[in-house]
């Protein structure tokens, strides 16, 4: 159990992470994910090209105005900028909190031999790796300056999916991770992501998200996690990418907040959305529509990966001479999302 003082410290960091006008940059792609992203853009993927790519974001002038924290990958938290400063110092000096991804990716969920598919999980569903040895890794990251961590669980919608067993296993693992983080003085970003792959509609997303979040908060409570010392990072309630009936930002905001009002505890400080495959402008417009419905009991912010990086990656294209233009593209996206956390974004601002 953590002390009242430790809890207060966690809460302060959580509040900083979702401070008004600010959100999180997810720059924690594993080496494998980076390889795929770079290959698509025709950029060679080496330890140094990944380092140069991250440096572009972390040294963008004024990043701290819009970005409260950056989620780093194990390789990245150990790297330096070209001026010799560690990335952790670069971020600290810009007023940005360093964070760290501590999950080790996903694997197929085992099917217990005796169970039926519905009760026992499915080989088409995933669970997250990384609980073994987690307390020791957290201690090391805390020493290196990490103030928060991230663990991503994925929930798949499909025929008969998600199963209760998969939802429960992911909720239990997220709760165990969150407890380990709080004991190490690190704020856990608790990320259950209902994937937007496929063609399911918005109501299928709402149902799966409702089951997922209900189980999650039950397990967090059972594990003794301080709810005001976490940041939730879940999906918007949104139709799948290939659903023939797409939704407007207004519909997405309504469905998302309708669910959140039923399942999120009031003590929760904030929720920082993932972008999950939305385009950059969709992710901003949807977050803005959600905040236009405020005031809300919790801060609604962003923790975007692709929706903050896609244009910057294209503009950079692996070339040092493109860094200033790529930084400009990144800062523009960060500013648009900052405005969206305040419900003050409009599409016309994209042209500025």
Measured from the CB of residue 30, what is the shortest distance to ligand 13P in angstroms? 10
- DSSP for 267-327 reads T--EEEE--TT--HHHHHHHHHHHHHT---SSEEEEEESHHHHHHHHHHHTT-GGGHHHHH
Summarize as ranges the residues that interact with ligand 13P (CB under 6 A): 26, 152, 191, 274-276, 303-307
Rounded to whole angstroms, the maximal C-alpha distance in the chain is 60
Helix residue ranges, H only, 94-183: 117-120, 134-144, 164-183
**Which lies closer to ligand 13P via its Cβ, residue 2 or residue 194?**
194
Determine contact, residues 287/341, Cβ cutoff 8 Å: yes
DSSP state of 161: B
Q: Which is nearer to ligand 13P, 2 or 316 (CB)?
A: 316
Active-site annotation holder among 126, 233, 299, 335 = 233
Catalytic residue among 29, 55, 125, 191: 191
Query: CA–CA distance from 263 to each of 172, 260, 303 (Å)?
Result: 17, 5, 20
Helices vs strands, H then E, count in the chain:
13, 10
Nearer to ligand 13P, 89 or 246 (CB): 246
**Structure token digits, residue 173:** 């693992």
Whether 280 is a known active-site residue: answer no
Question: Which structure tokens are listed for 166?
Answer: 């998969």
Asked if residues 138 and 186 have their Cβ atoms less than 8 Å apart, the reply is yes
Nearest to 236 by CA among 268, 277, 294, 177: 277
In the complex, minimum distance from the CB of residue 74 to ligand 13P, in angstroms, rounded to a whole number = 15
Instruction: Return the number of the residue (150 or 200) whose C-beta is nearest ligand 13P.
Output: 150
Q: In the annotation, is 233 catalytic?
A: yes
Give the residue with the Cβ less far from ligand 13P, 260 or 304.
Answer: 304
Residue nearest to ligand 13P (CB): 305
Closer residue to ligand 13P in complex, CB, 26/190: 26
CB of 146 to ligand 13P, least distance (A): 15
Burial class (CB in 10 A: 0-12, 13-18, 19+), 281: middle
For residue 13, what are the CA distances in angstroms to 10, 50, 198, 323? 5, 28, 36, 31
Active-site positions?
Answer: 191, 233
């Amino acid at each position: 159990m953590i002390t009242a003082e430790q809890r207060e410290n966690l809460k302060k960091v959580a509040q900083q992470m979702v401070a008004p006008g600010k959100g999180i940059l997810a720059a924690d792609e594993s080496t494998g994910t980076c390889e795929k992203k770079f290959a698509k853009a025709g950029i060679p993927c080496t330890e140094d090209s990944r380092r140069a790519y991250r440096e572009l974001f972390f040294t963008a002038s004024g990043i701290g105005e819009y970005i409260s924290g950056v989620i780093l990958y194990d390789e990245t938290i150990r790297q330096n900028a070209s001026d010799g400063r560690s990335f952790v110092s670069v971020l600290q000096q810009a007023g940005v909190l360093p964070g760290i991804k501590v999950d080790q990716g996903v694997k197929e969920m085992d099917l217990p031999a005796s169970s039926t598919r519905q009760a026992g999980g499915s080989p088409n569903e995933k669970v997250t790796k990384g609980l073994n040895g987690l307390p020791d890794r957290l201690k090391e990251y805390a020493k290196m300056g990490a103030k928060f961590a991230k663990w991503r669980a994925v929930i798949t919608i499909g025929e008969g999916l998600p199963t209760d067993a998969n939802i429960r296993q992911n909720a239990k693992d997220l709760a165990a991770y969150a407890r380990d983080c709080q004991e190490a003085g690190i704020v856990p970003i608790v990320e259950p992501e209902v994937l937007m792959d496929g063609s399911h509609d918005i109501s299928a997303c709402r149902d799966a998200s409702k089951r997922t979040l209900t189980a999650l908060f039950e397990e967090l409570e059972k594990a003794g996690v301080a709810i005001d010392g976490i940041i939730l990072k879940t999906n918007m309630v949104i139709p799948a990418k290939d659903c023939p009936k797409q939704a407007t930002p207004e519909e997405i905001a309504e469905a998302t907040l309708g669910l959140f009002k039923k399942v999120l505890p009031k003590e929760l400080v904030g929720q920082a959305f993932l972008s999950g495959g939305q385009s950059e402008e969709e992710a901003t417009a949807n977050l803005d529509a959600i905040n236009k419905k405020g005031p809300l009991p919790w801060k609604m912010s962003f923790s975007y990966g692709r929706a903050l990086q896609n244009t910057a990656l294209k503009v950079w294209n692996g070339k040092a001479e493109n860094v200033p233009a790529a930084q400009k593209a990144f800062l523009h996206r960060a500013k648009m999302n900052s405005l969206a956390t305040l419900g003050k974004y409009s599409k016309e601002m994209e042209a500025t």
